[in-house]
Amino acid sequence: MSDMKLEQDQKQTPSENAPKMRRDLSPSEAVHEKDWSDHKGILIVVEQRGGIAKKVSWQLLGEGRRLADKLQTHLSALVIGSNVSGLAKEAIYRGADNVYLCDSVELENYRTRPYSKVCLAVIREYKPEIVLLGATYTGRDLAGAIATHLPTGLTADCTQLDVDENRLLLASRPAFSEKMLATILCKQYKPQMATARSGVFLALPLDPTRQGDIITIPSQMTEGEIVTQVLDFLEQTDHVSLEDQEIIVAGGRGLGGPEGFVMLQEFADALGGVVGASRAAVDAGWIGHDHQVGQTGSTVRSKLYFAIGISGAVQHVVGMQNADMIVAVNRDPQAPIFKVAHLGIVGDLFTLVPALTEAIRAQKRNSGSVPVAL
Amino acid sequence: MHIVVCIKQVPDSREIRIDPNTNTLVRQGVPAIVNYYDLHGLEEALRFKDTVGARVTVISMGPPSAEKSLRQCIAMGADEAVLVSDRAFAGADTLATSYVVALTIEKVAQEFGIVDLVFCGKQTLDGDTGQVGPGVACRLDYDQLTYVEKVVALDEKNHTITVHRHLEDGVEVVQTKLPALITVLTELNKPRRASLPGVLKAAQYKPVVWSTNDFANIDRSKIGLKGSPTIVSKTWVPEPRKVNTEMIDGPSPEAIAADVTKRLWSSEAASRLGWA
Ligand SMILES: Cc1cc2nc3c(=O)[nH]c(=O)nc-3n(C[C@H](O)[C@H](O)[C@H](O)COP(=O)(O)OP(=O)(O)OC[C@H]3O[C@@H](n4cnc5c(N)ncnc54)[C@H](O)[C@@H]3O)c2cc1C
Ligand SMILES: Cc1cc2nc3c(=O)[nH]c(=O)nc-3n(C[C@H](O)[C@H](O)[C@H](O)COP(=O)(O)OP(=O)(O)OC[C@H]3O[C@@H](n4cnc5c(N)ncnc54)[C@H](O)[C@@H]3O)c2cc1C
């Protein structure tokens, strides 16, 4: 097995140097026989940008806490970045027993090699039995690299996690356009790795009385050794993150066009919520992809979810079925959306939405309740 | 420049249905297609061929029937196609797949010329993991640029490439040195149709086919089912969440709206929202 100081950084121009595979990176028969009982505990790799953690990281700490308690083992977090010691504390408050902190200037922006080397150093030293990352773009990029180097099995984009009496991670993920779930095991390798979807698991409330060790990990590469450069980050300023919203009013093809979304925005404003959408509405160009709920959009857990002119295709439903209260408006009484809705209204949305907007406004005036601050 | 494009032939998962009686997948009649993300990788490679001149080799690990997909790539303009096919590869997870794909790229480099750039799709329509690209990059020791929606610049003199990576909250502008591996999003470009000369070439074309025996140093414990740490232990159709749906009706939209509002305000959701 290769050690951390890899030789890859003396890259030469392609015309001089044929690619050479690092043949030590794959499982070999010897691995199967290995005794893994020294691997203990669960490790969550925390993702952050600019010192702010991704929601999914705290959600995974919440789920990791549950699994660690079930296995009667410890839960650790790994925080990587520059000026991120505050996040290490927060990870403890969010459920971690201890935190590995690697804080160094060259780790300010995510880059695969320096980040994966830190993860590998921690995993090889502290030998967790389970490693979880968010199934974000960055999380998948990083997890794919780590699992290949270790090597071990990696289950992608899980929406259910559990452990069994043999300490096996039961990692379940949607398959075939969300029509099925598949449970995937990694029996003969440790750690068992998975990436998990944002918005599915519940974060624990912040508990500042929790205490735990913070263990400093040295950075594994110097800036001079890193080939990849992040030149700029173009933040999408009008970006909406549906995953954090308490009230979502989602519209579908039934809205008929972008004007329908103007009407929907008014309704959302009355409720103090934001607008979501089905893929059909996004693909039609009526609203941006940020607003899409479902398999290829966001998974939400809002307290209130309106589905207006949305039929309820399985790929949409997987993204919203965990909302606390779902209200559906559709003119087709057979629409599958009614199977997951708590309140259903059969009728024409073009008359119902303005009426609902008015009724909500009136109720809020009467009860004196102001729209919740978001 | 020599560019390798990795493609996978997949069942068009949009066409897959579940048999409601047996709760199993109905695969019959489901067309096999080139994973559509991969066509965007091919298109980008072909644009380099058109603009700066590049040789484009398409590779796939898969059953013999994947020849059809490789021919489609030839028709679009790829120069060469390699099919790696062997029963021993069956049952591969992403770790075993990336091993064989990386070995193939290595062999392609030896036989057809040094490789500067590899394109993979963001993910496939069937396995849908997005893990093969990073796996191949690691094994070849290339830098990886994943989820690329735009190639901004290729500097042949300094051997660098600059791209836009798509992230949840914005776009990252990243540069790295060649050789590199890029995984692509559909936003990158619009794949071209096959040209007439392309179609004629494809009709005659026989892809290069390699099996395990063609790889001198292959480690048989790393391929197929044996080389795959992950095991699919079961698949099932999830039960929809059971909810008691209350259907609301009334003489007018206003009456319905008033009723819904009243119910909302007396619901648990309202207290959680601090309304009531
Ligand atoms: C791989 C894959 C991934 C996908 N990912 C997603 C995803 O992330 N999110 C997603 O949403 N979809 C996704 N889809 C698409 C999904 O299968 C559906 O096609 C889509 O959700 C349909 O959108 P819709 O409900 O708005 O449109 P439709 O299914 O066309 O439904 C429109 C509804 O509006 C109702 N309606 C029309 N006019 C009125 C009116 N005047 N008043 C009241 N009701 C009216 C109709 O009765 C109908 O039920 C995905 C599909 C695939 C294959
Ligand atoms: C329902 C289901 C769930 C699965 N879950 C997992 C899992 O969680 N973890 C796991 O390790 N395996 C999993 N697998 C196995 C996995 O699908 C296979 O390993 C497959 O060979 C490659 O993975 P992928 O389809 O996810 O490719 P991805 O990683 O999504 O593919 C990305 C890109 O890599 C290239 N590529 C992929 N396959 C090939 C190929 N054969 N030849 C050439 N280029 C290729 C293409 O450019 C493609 O666009 C699963 C399979 C199924 C059917």
Q: Look up the pTM and report it.
A: 0.88
For residue B193, count CB atoms less than 10 angstroms from its CB and return exposed for 0-12, middle for 13-18, buried for 19 or more. exposed
Three-state DSSP at A213 gives strand
A52/B contact by beta carbon, under 8 A: no
Confidence at residue B196, expressed as pLDDT on a 0 to 100 scale: 95
Q: Any idea which fold A2-225 has?
A: Rossmann fold (3.40.50)
Q: Phi and psi of A168, rounded to 5°?
A: -85, 140
Residue A27 banded pLDDT, cuts 50, 70, 90? very low
* CA neighbor of B151 nearest in space, from B143, B162, B160: B162
The amino acid that residue A362 corresponds to is A
- Give the helix/strand (H/E) hosting A329: strand A325-330
Question: pLDDT at position A20, please?
Answer: 56
CA distance A221 to A374: 41
Q: Up-side HSE of residue B207: CA atoms within 13 Å toward CB?
A: 29
Distance CA B128, CA A174 (A): 9
**DSSP letters spanning chain B:** -EEEEE--EEE-GGG-EEETTTTEEE-TTPPEEE-HHHHHHHHHHHHHHHHT--EEEEEEES-GGGHHHHHHHHHHT-SEEEEE--GGGTT--HHHHHHHHHHHHHHHHHHH----EEEEES--SSS----HHHHHHHHHT-EEEEEEEEEEEEETTTTEEEEEEEETTEEEEEEEESSEEEEE-GGG--PPPPPHHHHHHHHH---EEE-GGG-TT--GGGSTTTT--EEEEEEEPPPPPP--PEEE--SSHHHHHHHHHHHHHTSHHHHHTT--
Count of A–B CB contacts within 8 Å? Answer: 300
Rg (CA), chain A: 23
Domains of chain A, residue spans? 2-225, 242-363
- Closest residue by Cα to atom 11, ligand 2, is B94
What one-character-per-residue DSSP string does A122-141 give?
HHHHH--SEEEEE-SHHHHH
- Within chain B, all domains assigned CATH 3.40.50.620 are found at 2-222
Sequential pLDDT tens for chain B (276 residues) = 999 999 999 988 777 777 777 767 777 788 899 999 999 999 999 999 999 999 999 999 999 999 999 999 999 999 999 999 999 999 999 999 999 999 999 999 999 999 999 999 999 988 889 999 999 999 999 999 999 999 999 999 999 999 999 998 899 999 999 999 999 999 999 999 999 999 999 999 999 999 999 999 999 999 999 999 999 999 888 877 788 999 999 999 999 999 999 999 988 888 888 886
> Averaged over A5-32, what is the pLDDT?
44
- The residues, ordered by sequence, that sit 6+ positions from A211 with a Cβ below 8 Å of its Cβ are A92
Task: Please name which of A101, A58, A99 lies closest in space to residue A82, comparing C-alpha atoms.
Answer: A101
Same CATH topology for A2-225 and A242-363?
Answer: yes
- Residue A64 in this model has a pLDDT that exceeds 90: yes
pLDDT tier, A29 (very low <50, low <70, confident <90, very high otherwise): very low
Number of Cβ within a 10 Å radius of residue A266: 16
Mean pLDDT of the residues in chain A: 90
C-alpha of B140 from chain center: 19
pLDDT at A248: 97
Predicted local confidence at residue A33, as pLDDT: 63
Tokens 């010897």 found at: A30
Pocket of ligand 1 (CB under 6 A): A 177, 252-254, 278-281, 292-297, 309-311, 313, 315-316, 319, 329-332, 335, 348-350; B 14
Domain spanning A242-363, CATH architecture: 3-Layer(aba) Sandwich (3.40)
Cβ-based neighbours of A90, under 8 Å, separated by 6 or more: A53, A58, A206
Supply φ then ψ for residue B255, to 5 degrees.
-65, -40
Q: How far is CA A75 from CA A65, A97, A142, in A?
A: 6, 5, 20
Question: pLDDT tens-digit profile of A68-123?
Answer: 999 999 999 999 999 999 999 999 999 999 999 999 999 999 999 999 999 999 99
> Per-residue pLDDT for A30 more than 70?
no
Question: For residue B14, which residues of chain A lie inside 8 Å, CB to CB?
Answer: 177
Average pLDDT over residues A260-283: 97
**Closest-approaching ligand to the CA atom of A350:** 1
Distances (CA, A) of A318 to B9, B110, B234, B276: 27, 46, 20, 29
Q: Strand B17-19 vs strand B24-26: parallel, antiparallel, or unpaired?
A: antiparallel
Asked if residue B184 lies in contact with residue B122, where contact means CB atoms within 8 angstroms, the answer is: yes
Cβ separation B273–A149 shorter than 8 A: no
Q: What is the pLDDT of residues A149-178, one digit of tens each?
A: 999 999 999 999 999 999 999 999 998 777
Number of the ligand 1 atom closest to the C-alpha atom of A337: 49
Q: Which fold has domain B2-222?
A: Rossmann fold (3.40.50)
DSSP, collapsed to helix, strand or coil, labels residue A63 as helix
pLDDT of A370: 52
A241 in reach of chain B (CB within 8 A): yes
Closest CA to B244 of A300, A338, A335: A338
Q: Cβ distance B141 to A19 under 8 Å?
A: yes
Provide the pLDDT for residue A25: 44
DSSP 8-state assignment for residue A96: -
User: In angstroms, rounded to a whole number, what is the distance separating the alpha carbons of residues B190 and A237?
Assistant: 27
Query: If you measure from the C-alpha of residue A108 to the centroid of ligand 2, how many angstroms do you get, rounded to a whole number?
Result: 31
CA-based nearest residue in chain A for residue B17: A179
The owner of tokens 């993910």 is B123
What would the two tokens of residue B81 be?
Answer: 């196609």
Compare all CA atoms of chain B with the CA of A371 and give the residue at the minimum distance.
B275
CB distance B65 to B9 below 8 Å: yes
**Residue B92 near residue B227, CB atoms below 8 Å:** yes
- State the pLDDT confidence band at A367, using cuts at 50, 70 and 90: confident
When pLDDT is cut at 50, 70 and 90, the band that residue A31 belongs to is low
ipTM entry: 0.92
Interface check for A334 against chain B (CB to CB < 8 A): the answer is: no
Q: What is the pLDDT of residue B276?
A: 67
The letter for the amino acid at A337 is I
Least confident of A44-48, A144-148, A209-213, B30-34: B30-34
Distance CA A187, CA A184 (A): 10
pLDDT, residue A21, reads 56
Q: Which residue carries 């060259």 as its tokens?
A: A106
A15, A148, A184 ranked by CB distance to B135: nearest: A148
- Rounded Cα distance between A103 and A94, Å, is 19
